[in-house]
Structure 1
Amino acid sequence: MYFKAAKSFLLVIFFGNIMANAAKLEFTNIKCHAKDTAFLDFEYCFIKSVNRTYKYISLKANMHEIPITNASAKLQILRRFRSYMPITIAASIDICKFMAYKKDLANPMLRLFEEITTNYTNTNHKCPYDHDLIVDKLPSRFLSEHFTNILPLPPGEYSFNSKWLSKNIERATICIYITIS
């Protein structure tokens, strides 16, 4: 009896460690598209691979019509089967209201957005935004932790799509493509 319990315990620990280490998120592509170039354009938008284990995303949006006092975003995760299909409900947020009050952090998409703006951007403040917007060295391991622990996703190819609006006019789209293995 003792031997069976010890054997079961070791199997649970062994497979638990395999599952904990099995999830790996890797950036495959990023696409930044300015819909209204009179409003903004992207100076750069790239994935940098420092080595096999460290990749990061950086982008800079040059704002031409500032200050921005009315901004919103639509965020959604899609999974590739034969084509990219939505697996989450699109989260729409009023950026100015969200940054002022930081409500709705129970939603994993909004919690991710808040953590990214706090740690990797220059946008962690209330409106108005009167400067260029920068995402600086957002590492894949940060997103890997979020997508494997907080919002567990099975292995596959995914797209994190975001549409950025100002005054209810779509100004830009950013699509980040990832693979979870």
Structure 2
Amino acid sequence: MSKCDMAEIRFTYIRCKAIDASLINIPLCITKPISRNVTETSLHVRLARPVTNIVTRVRFMKKSSDYSLYFGENSYDACKFLDNRKIYPIADYLFNIIDDYTNLNHSCPYKGDIIIDRFRIRKDKLTWLPMPEGEYALFTSWNIDGKLRAELNFYFSYK
């Protein structure tokens, strides 16, 4: 197992799927290499109307021959979380990694554009992660008003 101060963590791919195109448009969804060990991920989600009832399902996956559930899965009320990030410690830990790169900085309702701009993994934001080297993914499903509206999957390597 690796310690984060020695580990190399690199996003390799992002897959975005707007299931309800009448509510969600995703004009930008990209991970691109900047240098040998550095990538930047950018995401732009456009909401057609204000949303308040958002539940996010997060599954932490590890690749063997295919991606399978590794750490488990959790569902989070996104609006409650954005009101008080401490109520979901795991989600807070993950959000802390991206919060310098996003405009997700207020409570619901959310409307218009949601942006993650040129996100790079910063080791100073990570603490020790008890996991072996390998290929991993965070699979996220976004339900708004009780219906699946989008899926965002983030793939990364940990060495």
Superposition TM-score, scaled by structure 2 size: 0.88
Aligned position for 1:119? 100
Aligned position for 1:38? 22
Aligned position for 1:164? 142
Cα separation, partners in 2 of 1:178 and 1:100, compared to 1, 3 Å: same
Aligned position for 1:49? 33
Aligned position for 2:155? 177
Question: Are 2:45 and 1:61 aligned?
Answer: yes
Task: Pick one of 3, 6, 9 that aligns with 1:25.
Answer: 9
Matched AA of 1:115: N
How far is the alpha carbon of 1:126 from its aligned partner?
0.6
Q: 2:82 and 2:111 mapped to 1: Cα distance?
A: 15
Task: Pick one of 46, 50, 75 that aligns with 2:58.
Answer: 75
Cα separation, partners in 2 of 1:118 and 1:101, compared to 1, 3 Å: same
Question: Are 2:83 and 1:100 aligned?
Answer: yes
Q: Answer 1 or 2: which has greater helix percent.
A: 1
Q: Answer 1 or 2: which has greater strand percent.
A: 2
Q: Give per-residue Cα distances to partners, 1:110-156, cap 9 Å, x unaligned.
A: 123431453221111011112211111111335x953xx34322101
Mark the structure with the bigger radius of gyration.
1
Contact 1:25 1:141 in 2 (8 A): no
- SS of the equivalent of 1:176 reads strand
Aligned position for 1:133? 114
Matched AA of 2:113: D
Q: 2:19 and 2:4 mapped to 1: Cα distance?
A: 40
* Ranges of 4+ aligned residues in structure 1 off by more than 3 Å: 18-22
Deviates more, 1:46-55 or 1:167-176: 46-55
Contact 1:27 1:179 in 2 (8 A): yes
Superposition TM-score, scaled by structure 1 size: 0.78
CA RMSD, 1 decimal:
2.1
Percent of aligned pairs with the same amino acid: 28
- SS of the equivalent of 2:22 reads coil
Matched AA of 1:135: I
Matched AA of 1:30: I
Q: 1:53 and 1:141 mapped to 2: Cα distance?
A: 12
Q: Give per-residue Cα distances to partners, 1:24-82, cap 9 Å, x unaligned.
A: 11222110011111111110100121212321100101111x11111110111100112
Cα separation, partners in 2 of 1:19 and 1:175, compared to 1, 3 Å: closer
